[in-house]
Structures are given as C-alpha cells and as structure tokens.
A = this chain, B = another copy of it.
Amino acid sequence: MTADRNPVIGLLGGGQLGRMLCEAANPLGIDIAILDEENSPAKQAHNTNRHVVGSFKDPARIRELAAQSDFLSVEIEHVETEVLEDIEKNGVEVKQADGTTKTHKPPVHPSWKTIRLIQDKYLQKEHFRTSDKNIPIAEQVAIESGPAALDSLKNAAAKFGLPFMLKARKGSYDGRGNFKVDSEKDFEAAVTALGGLSLYAEKWAPFVKELAVMVIRTEDDNGTLKNCVAYPAVETIHEDSICTKVFMPPRDVSETVCAAARKLATEVISTLWGRGVFAVEMFVLEDGSLMVNEVAPRPHNSGHYTIEAVPQMSQYKAQIHAVLDLPVPQKLTPRVTSSIMLNILGGATPSAHLPLAELARKTFDDDMDIHLHLYNKASKPGRKIGHITLTSTTLPIHDLETKAQPLTDLVNQIRHDRITASAETLRPTTTTTQPTPSTALTPAPPSQTTSPAPLVLITMGSDSDLPVLSAGLAILREFGVPYAVDITSAHRTARYMMEVASGAAERGVRVVVAAAGGAAHLPGMFASETPLPVIGVPVKATHLDGVDSLLSIVQMPRGVPTATVGINNSTNAALLAIRILGSSMPEYQEKMKRYQANMEEQVIEKGNKLREIGDVEYLAAKGK
C-alpha cells in the first residue's frame, strides 16, 4: 500500500466473478487489471488503463498483464498454468522509464500448483485422499484411454458395482463431462459421449443434499499457512447441472453437520497452496456423513450471498485481502438469519428475465431485503446473467423461502419457458448428468419437485423397470435432451398417475416414455389422459419373456395410440423420442442425422474389416 499508486491485481478472465471482484475493489482503492475481451462484464465495472484486450489463454497477453500487475490471480481455473509458473519463477521483462529493462516477478495467487492440481479432478481427489487429513472422497479409479478403455470400465464395474459415474478428468465445468453408467451396455456410449477425454470412474454416491463452504486461505510469502477460515455452510441446488439456488443456512441440515462441513472444508483447503478464497463442494450422504466432491480455487456462485450476508468480508473482498496479504478475520459470522441466492439465467428471449428483475426491483418487505445483481452480459438461453440475493435479519430459512416464493416461481417459470421455447430460439440446456437424488428411487428435494418439466418424461410402473430404461436415459443424455423421471404405477398409484399424465403437456413435456411389465397398463392409461405422444417400453417380467408386457401396451383400442418399441428396447424408445423432438426442433434433427451417419460409418468399417480379414479371423478378434 503506497500513496503514489494503488496496488494492482492482474486477473485472468473478466466475467461476472471478475465484475463482482471489481465492485468490491473500487471502494477499497485497489486496481484490477482484466485480461479478457473488450468491454467484458468486469471491465465495465472498473475503469483503468491497465486492462489488456485478448484471451486469458494467450501466453503473450498473460505476460503483458503480468508486466503491469503486482499480483496475478484467476477468475476461472481453466488457464495455462505453465505460463503462470514461468512468470512466477522467471518473471517478465519490464521496460523502465530510462529505457533499460527489469525482471518483474508478480506472485500468483492462488498458486499455479493449486490450479494445475484442481484442473485434473482425478488427481485433485487423489491428493485429498492421500493427504494426512483423512478427507472423505468417493472411491475412484483412472480409466485407460484407447482400446484398453473397455476393459478398464469392466474393472471399475467389478470394483464399484453399477451404477457408477464416469467423469472427464479435465475441462469439465457446470456438470459437463459427467456420465452415469448404469449397465455394461452403456460402456461404449459413455466412451463415445465423453470423446477422447481422459477419464476416471467414481463409485456411485447416493447423496441426499449438496453443501458448499467458501474458505479464505492465506499464507506468508514462504508458503507457510497463516489462515484457513470458513464461511457458513450453504445448501446448493443444481438444475440442468448448473447451480441455480443457494440456501443459507441449509434447509433441514443439523448444525452438527454444518459445523462438520466447515471443518472439513478448512482441512481440504489447508492441503493446497497459495492465497485466496476457495469453494469446497460436498455431498451429505444418507447417514449424515460428508463426502468432498470438488474444489474451485476462486470466488464461487455458492458464495455470492456473502456480499450481503457477511458484509464486512464478502468472498470478493476476501479474495482481494487474501491475494494482497491484507488482514482477514478469524471468524466469519453472517449478519442475517437467513439468505437465499437465485441465479438469473438467460431465458427463451433476450428480455425473458426482465420481469424477474422488475419483480426484484419492486418487492419491499419488512422482513426481507432483495438485492439485484445484473452482470450486463448479453442474454442467451441458460447463461448466467445475474443473480438475486434475499436476506432477512429476522426470519429462519424456511420462512424466508416462503416469502421468496413469488421470485422463485418466476425463476422456475423462466426456465420452463426457456426449455419449451419454439425451435427457432431454443438452445437446450445441458443434460442432467450429475448424480442427483431425483432418480425416482429417492424422493426429490422440494426445489426439484417444483421445477418445471423438461422435454421428455420417462415414467415407469415400478423402480424395477429402471435398469431397463438406463440405456435409453444414456441416449437422452448423449443428445443433450432435458428429461425427468418418475414412478407412476397404473395399479398402485392410479390417481397420481392420472394427475401426472393430465398435467404433462402443461409442464412443457413433449414426449412421454412409459415402461411397464406384465399386465402393462401404464403406457395406455397414460396415453388416455394426455394429448402427447406416448412411447411404450415393454419390460420383460418374470414370466412369458415380456410378451405379456408387449401385448398389453401395443394392443390399445382405436383412438388411444401408444408408440410401442421392442421388449426392453429403451434405446429405441429414446431415439424415437428424439426424432419426435427433432421434427420441430432442428437441432435435434441435426444431431439425429449425425448419429445415423456415425452408425453407418461404423457398419461400413465393420464390413470393410470383415471383407479384409474374413469371417474366421473376425470372430476370433471378437473373442468368439
């Protein structure tokens, strides 16, 4: 801190996290130099002649930024750590006023070592597992690439059982790069879906809640840990694999578990390197125990609430204090009794979110304050373009949730409209791929049951039908189709089934897939209560090899059709559903064309090979 000029943090990336960092930096007299596109959200909120125009992945621009910064930091972890390492170790040449050059070595916080570790989710968790802190993580195993992948997957299945999660080690973000493997039949699709990525398999963790804890970490210039201080634990809700809602304190989670989450978070972060704020995402399992999911080495969506709820030391102010090695508090106490953060995501049209901003602007309440944050980003469907934080100094979280209902309803409505928007403007959101408790077997948490319906509803007469459906679900994920699953037994929950069927179209569902076995009445009964196309999947039951199911579904009276596919053939049910969507939504049609071309190529290749090596060698190569 000198009087002649403000300290400068050079930041790689200028999105909303950088923008809120600038908003915190302005009153503190700290200069933030942003490396990103001209007029990026962060640059709009802070005017300095030190901004650099270019990509935060361009080593030359990073060096340009470093030359005029006292510290370097990141807004996103997907950066080239090699450049950061080189800058910290060897510095950059800076021209002096007298024409000579000087080597300048701005410290990088958090450390490039931490960023590099975190970029590889497998190594990240291996690091936690092998640390002396006994950090609970899901069992995991690296998957071989290339031809050995399938064997490697088989080993994982043998080790973990089914289902298990297949995840990309690098480059994943907002839940992308995850694939739930339900049966051996998924292996090929999974490897195809995740392309040539380096993968690892993770044991399925049936969790009941997701928590997150922000932590401030500081160390001295020799790397000796000084502080590791946790913010309150919060509950995070993910929809379409994006964090959409945050609750502080978590709903229906004991103080003991919250305290354990904070302690665990500080232990996790203490094993890393460098200064800054970090998010620790974790699962609460059915027995109340915690499991660390992953870490973000930067301010995080789950910490936006701190701007108003921990006003003296928001996560953004903390990031500035930590990076500059200014003092940080030893205790982070919220000054409100409860807080809810709602993300504003771009809707079906560029102005679809405006009614939400308007409602936030005009809602005044004796017991609730509403804080609007717009990022001034162009609105695109599903893009994070703002957030709303609700706080109360009097209400407990459930009462605040009730007060917040009109806003939450509107958030849900915008999502609903986005998903059901006309083909011309719709961009489907990413598919639901993270392990979530909403797969019919566990009651979904409230915010997920109140969510509007996706494009395809997959329902079944019994959870015993789920394994048959998993192949079809994998196809839907592969095509990026938003879907929902449910259990609606025609015989045991007749009224609920009728209710779901008659409301499906209104929820925005466009196609229903119904699976049932034996006297399989569900698809037909469902079809009688909805105008939507219903695809029936006959499930092979104990007797008669599934013929009972097939006939019960296909033999509908005139007037109430069901689109029946082969016994247990949920793959075809899913592909049929996508073709139906594709008839009005060009994107799905294009995807279907590529899928078909791909199948053709594979068969042609096989034919080439068969002609080339002959049937005997061919069968031998297949191990038959």
Contact = CB atoms under 8 A, between A and B. Distances in A.
B29 A330 contact: no
B369 A335 contact: yes
A306 to B, nearest CB: 13
A1 interface: yes
A364 B312 contact: yes
Interface stretch (A199-207, A266-274, A350-358, A505-513): A350-358
Given A330-B364, A364-B330, A369-B311, A3 B47 contact: no
Interface stretch (A154-162, A370-378, A401-409, A469-477): A370-378
A6 B374 CA distance: 11
Contact of A351 (B3, B362, B371, B386): B3
A26 B3 contact: no
Contacts of A362: 326-327
B366 A331 contact: yes
B3 A350 contact: yes
Interface stretch (A38-46, A168-176, A246-254, A515-523): A38-46
A322 to B, nearest CB: 12
A308 interface: yes
Interface residues of A, number: 51
B358 A1 contact: yes
Given A44-B47, A321-B361, A327-B364, A312 B369 contact: yes
Given A331-B366, A371-B311, A26 B44 contact: yes
A393 B23 contact: no
Given A45-B26, A48-B44, A1 B370 contact: no
Contacts of A312: 364, 369-371
A256 interface: no
Contacts of A371: 27, 311-312
Nearest to A313: B364
B351 A2 contact: yes
Given A44-B46, A47-B44, A361-B326, A393 B335 contact: yes
A333 interface: yes
Contacts of A19: 26
Given A28-B374, A311-B308, A326-B362, A3 B379 contact: yes
Contacts of A326: 361-362
A195 interface: no
A48 B23 CA distance: 15
Interface string A363-391: 01010011111101001000000100001
Contact of A23 (B23, B321, B379): B23
Contact of A1 (B23, B26, B357, B373): B357
Nearest to A308: B311
Contacts of A335: 369, 393
30 contacts: A1-B358, A3-B351, A3-B354, A23-B23, A23-B27, A26-B44, A26-B376, A27-B371, A27-B372, A27-B373, A28-B372, A28-B374, A39-B47, A44-B46, A44-B48, A45-B46, A46-B47, A311-B369, A311-B371, A312-B364, A312-B369, A312-B370, A312-B371, A321-B361, A326-B362, A327-B361, A329-B364, A330-B364, A333-B366, A393-B393
- 9 smallest CB-CB distances across A and B, nearest first, come from A29-B374, A3-B351, A329-B364, A312-B369, A327-B362, A27-B373, A47-B47, A3-B350, A26-B45
Interface of A: 1-4, 6, 19, 23, 26-29, 39, 43-48, 308, 311-313, 321, 326-327, 329-331, 333, 335, 349-351, 354, 357-358, 361-362, 364, 366, 369-374, 376, 379, 386, 391, 393
